[in-house]
């Protein structure tokens, strides 16, 4: 624990120092992103590349056709359920990532499923970041150990209800230099009532900072995601090495008892070759991966 505390303190110092340096320099123009660099995780046709894991069911079983694609939209539905009965679901993308930008466009629709867990789950869903490998999730585990970008819709009661909050099932985060003591932290976003589409974006920098945006506006920032805390049940303790920073993981979309649509799920990988001499160099990368560099072969001597 002492080593973990020291590591946390040092990481906070480094984050603070980098922030001061960044503020003291003029902001450079953002590098352009070549067409085609964005990865469309959802192809608009089917669930290719995605695997469901629903609590009380085995990995890969799409119980009651929970996740489906119709008219180019990835839908989460419960019309074939007798009762929701705490069958929390998550649809996992096949590839883990560490440094990236993720865009998810969503809207809540319809009525909450019968047997739902409570009013808190009304118009409630999310995108799970830095998730454990779905193969390590037990059959009856309710949520993956992960960082949740929480999506919330308004209740049409005039009360504020922000979206793109952060929740921490089996994890913890650092806010303003200290471990945040609660399970969820609200963002500064406005309330989104009705069935309108919302554009959520995450900027994820490994085990460093994670920033949330709603319709292009920054609404939340936190840092140093790590294993620990509660609000995850029936999991394998070996999948939760308390105090260890989380560098990366899988991305999943949540099924939490209220129907929701996703029309876009796109990712820009920010880790790759940072050598300008390589053919696959990208100026927007922030994490160097020298092994990925590709160089032109010298022309053959006649």
- Determine the pLDDT at residue 222: 98
Confidence tier at 290 by pLDDT (50, 70, 90): very high
Confidence tier at 301 by pLDDT (50, 70, 90): low
| 101-130 average pLDDT score | 97
Confidence tier at 26 by pLDDT (50, 70, 90): low
Provide CB contacts within 8 A for 131, sequence distance 6+.
Answer: 90, 92, 144, 145, 146, 147, 249, 250, 251, 252
| 22-31 average pLDDT score | 64
Instruction: Report the percentage of the chain scoring pLDDT > 70.
Output: 89
Q: What is the C-alpha separation between 206 and 245, in angstroms, rounded?
A: 9
- Determine the pLDDT at residue 299: 63
30 or 186, which is more confident: 186
For 36-52, the pLDDT digits (tens) are: 999 999 999 999 999 99
Per-chain mean pLDDT for the chain:
92
- Determine the pLDDT at residue 302: 62
Confidence tier at 14 by pLDDT (50, 70, 90): very low
- Determine the pLDDT at residue 267: 98
- Determine the pLDDT at residue 16: 52
- Determine the pLDDT at residue 1: 42
Number of neighbours of residue 60 by Cβ within 10 angstroms: 11
For 209-245, the pLDDT digits (tens) are: 999 999 999 999 999 999 999 999 999 999 999 999 9
| Domain range annotation of the chain | 31-289
For 159-182, the pLDDT digits (tens) are: 999 999 999 999 999 999 999 999
80 or 35, which is more confident: 80
Number of neighbours of residue 27 by Cβ within 10 angstroms: 7
Of 26-30, 76-80, 205-209, minimum mean pLDDT range:
26-30
Q: Which CATH class is domain 31-289?
A: mainly beta
Q: What is the C-alpha separation between 83 and 236, in angstroms, rounded?
A: 27
| 143-154 average pLDDT score | 98
- Determine the pLDDT at residue 156: 83
Q: What is the C-alpha separation between 8 and 19, in angstroms, rounded?
A: 16
Confidence tier at 18 by pLDDT (50, 70, 90): very low
Q: What is the C-alpha separation between 266 and 38, in angstroms, rounded?
A: 6
Residue 2 pLDDT greater than 50, yes or no: no
- Determine the pLDDT at residue 158: 86
- Provide the phi-psi class of 68: left if phi over 0, else alpha when psi is between -120 and 50, else beta: beta
């Amino acid at each position: 624990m002492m080593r973990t505390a020291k590591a946390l303190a040092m990481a906070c110092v480094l984050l603070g120092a980098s922030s001061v340096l960044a503020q003291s320099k003029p902001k450079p123009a953002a590098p352009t992103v070549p067409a085609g660099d964005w990865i469309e995780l959802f192809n608009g046709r089917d669930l290719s590349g995605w695997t469901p894991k629903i609590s009380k069911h085995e990995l890969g079983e799409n119980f009651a056709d929970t996740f489906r694609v119709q008219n180019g939209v990835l839908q989460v539905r419960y019309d074939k359920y007798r009762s929701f009965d705490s069958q929390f679901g998550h649809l996992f993308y096949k590839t883990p990532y560490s440094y990236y930008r993720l865009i998810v466009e969503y809207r809540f629709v319809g009525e909450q499923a019968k047997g739902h867990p409570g009013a808190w789950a009304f118009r409630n869903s999310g995108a799970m970041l830095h998730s454990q490998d779905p193969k390590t999730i037990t059959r009856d585990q309710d949520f993956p150990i992960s960082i949740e970008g929480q999506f919330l819709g308004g209740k049409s009661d005039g009360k504020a209800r922000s979206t793109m909050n952060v929740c921490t099932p089996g994890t913890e985060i650092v806010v303003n230099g200290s471990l945040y003591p609660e399970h969820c932290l609200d963002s500064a976003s406005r309330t989104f009532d009705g069935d309108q589409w919302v554009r959520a974006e995450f900027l994820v920098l490994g085990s460093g900072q994670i920033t949330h945006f709603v319709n292009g506006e920054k609404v939340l920032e936190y840092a140093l995601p790590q294993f620990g805390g509660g609000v995850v049940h029936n999991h394998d303790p070996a999948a939760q090495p308390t105090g260890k920073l989380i560098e990366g993981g899988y991305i999943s979309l949540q099924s939490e008892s209220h129907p929701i649509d996703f029309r876009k799920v796109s990712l820009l990988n920010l880790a790759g070759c940072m050598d300008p001499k390589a053919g696959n160099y990208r100026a927007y990368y922030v994490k160097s991966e020298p092994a990925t560099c590709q160089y032109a072969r010298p022309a053959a001597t006649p």
